[in-house]
């Protein structure tokens, strides 16, 4: 008799030499002590989470970690993108110092991308670097932010402007945690899943289109495939360009417009994934106006983004304000804004664009 294969269990490897690590994908991982075997040995662990996620998962994680660490502490941060700042980051350092955490203490980032980005940055800085593990509990963080080592906090003048490249020891994607995710957050995560199609894999775009209802219904095997394929594509890109000297920028498709929306409205008004979804529509229009894709492609991508429950029209910030905000983008060089565009099916590139063309796109895509 053959055992039924578990269609939700996958491991994706990030190959970065001595900084390589696995991404474990499956159900029931967070509360299973076996998940944490083989991590760096230490006297203590610090679970960093927020006041939404802590009541759901922190007890189970802390109990499982007791099997590996004599002391397991937790610090519970205020929830929200608006708290991805110095003040909240300092709460992590306060907790670490007050618990006499040493330079071997392992940090566990339990939550979405906000917790993951801040915990990673705290781990990069505390005693000049301690190990950390990503326990992403949103779809967005499982398919994107927990993987690849970008860590940061926001500055009022720009998103993710203060940070470091710092890789985790392991990423643990527990699909069960997605059951408690609000529908709006699930849609936000789908934006980053969709992103991987046009930039790298049109067959994956076909698959997402065919499976969108199952994804929105959170069917475990379908979610598992989406997380796995997204992580594979991200691992492939990051493995070639860890510190974004070139290729990695394609992962920012839709983000130049999206970051302007987030900063322009005030962080937290639109979810990051919502801004990216709408930003991809704008970037697709720009690609078309640059003569790189046809109108059918733009319509197809727009329909998919709308079908995922995401906004497809930008807020009325005014073209001057959009352009000012996009000038702060990390991809801007010498004041020139550079956009990730689609220059063929499944292929992305970085391009500057004439100001007039960008204004045409903003006029066409914003309220």
Per annotation, catalytic residue among 2, 18, 70, 128: 128
Binding site for ligand NAD (CB under 6 A): 50, 52-53, 56, 79, 81, 84, 111-115, 117, 137-138, 140-141, 144-145, 148, 150, 160, 177, 180-181, 185, 188, 272-273
Residue 198: contacted member of ligand GLY, ligand NAD, none (CB under 5 to 8 Å, by partner type): none
Q: Is 18 a catalytic residue?
A: no
Q: Is 248 a catalytic residue?
A: yes
H-state helical runs in 47-143: 59-65, 86-98, 113-125, 139-140
Which residues contact residue 175 at a Cβ distance below 8 angstroms, ignoring those fewer than 6 apart?
A: 8, 25, 26, 27, 220, 223, 224, 227
Residue 26: contacted member of ligand GLY, ligand NAD, none (CB under 5 to 8 Å, by partner type): none
For the chain, what's the residue count?
367
Relative to beta strand 132-136, strand 71-77 is unpaired
Q: Is 150 a catalytic residue?
A: yes
Smallest distance, ligand NAD to C-beta of residue 153, A: 9
Q: In angstroms, rounded to a whole number, what is the distance separating the alpha carbons of residues 311 and 35?
A: 37
Strand ranges inside 126-219, DSSP E: 132-136, 150-155, 158-165, 171-174
Binding site for ligand GLY (CB under 6 A): 144, 148, 150, 248, 251-252
| Nearest-CB residue for ligand NAD | 113
Smallest distance, ligand NAD to C-beta of residue 70, A: 28
What totals of helices (H) and strands (E) does the chain contain, helices first? 12, 11
Estimate the crossing angle of helix 220-240 against helix 183-200, to 10 degrees.
50
Cβ nearer to ligand NAD, comparing 16 with 319:
16
Residue 44: contacted member of ligand GLY, ligand NAD, none (CB under 5 to 8 Å, by partner type): none
Q: Is 259 a catalytic residue?
A: yes
Query: What is the distance, to the nearest Å, from the Cα of residue 104 to the centroid of all Cα atoms in its chain?
Result: 26
| Nearest-CB residue for ligand GLY | 251
Q: Is 244 a catalytic residue?
A: yes
Per annotation, catalytic residue among 84, 195, 248, 330: 248
Strand ranges inside 35-92, DSSP E: 44-50, 71-77
Smallest distance, ligand GLY to C-beta of residue 37, A: 27
Residues with a known catalytic role: 128, 150, 192, 234, 244, 248, 252, 255, 259, 272
């Amino acid at each position: 008799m053959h055992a039924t294969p578990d269609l939700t269990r996958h491991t994706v490897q990030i190959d970065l030499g001595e900084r390589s690590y696995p991404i474990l994908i499956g159900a029931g991982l967070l509360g299973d002590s076996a998940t944490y075997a083989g991590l760096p040995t230490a006297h203590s662990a610090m679970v960093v989470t927020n006041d939404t996620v802590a009541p759901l998962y922190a007890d189970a994680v802390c109990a499982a970690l007791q099997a590996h660490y004599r002391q397991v502490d937790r610090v519970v941060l205020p929830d929200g993108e608006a708290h991805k700042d110095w003040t909240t980051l300092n709460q992590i350092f306060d907790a670490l110092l007050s618990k006499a955490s040493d330079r071997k203490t392992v940090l566990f980032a339990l939550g979405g991308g906000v917790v993951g980005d801040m915990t990673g940055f705290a781990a990069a800085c505390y005693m000049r670097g301690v190990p950390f593990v990503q326990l992403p509990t949103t779809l967005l963080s499982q398919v994107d932010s927990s993987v690849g080592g970008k860590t940061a906090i926001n500055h009022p003048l720009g998103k993710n402007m203060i940070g470091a490249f710092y890789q985790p020891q392991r990423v643990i994607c527990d699909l069960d945690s997605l059951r408690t995710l609000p529908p709006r957050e699930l849609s936000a995560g789908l934006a980053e899943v969709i992103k991987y199609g046009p930039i790298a894999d049109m067959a994956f775009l076909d698959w997402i289109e065919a499976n969108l209802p199952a994804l929105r219904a959170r069917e475990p095997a379908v979610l598992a495939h989406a997380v796995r394929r997204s992580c594979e594509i991200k691992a492939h890109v990051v493995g070639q360009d860890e510190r974004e000297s070139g290729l990695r920028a394609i992962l920012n498709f839709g983000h130049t417009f999206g970051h302007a929306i987030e900063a322009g409205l005030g962080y937290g008004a639109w979810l990051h994934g919502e801004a990216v979804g709408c930003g991809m529509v704008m970037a697709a229009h720009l690609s078309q106006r640059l003569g790189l894709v046809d109108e059918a492609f733009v319509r197809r991508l727009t329909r998919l983004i709308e079908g995922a429950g995401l906004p497809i029209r930008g807020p009325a910030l005014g073209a001057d304000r959009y352009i000012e905000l996009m000038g702060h983008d990390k991809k801007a060089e010498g004041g020139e804004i550079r956009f990730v565009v689609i220059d063929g099916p499944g292929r992305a590139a970085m391009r500057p664009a004439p100001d007039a063309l960008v204004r045409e796109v903003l006029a066409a895509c914003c309220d």
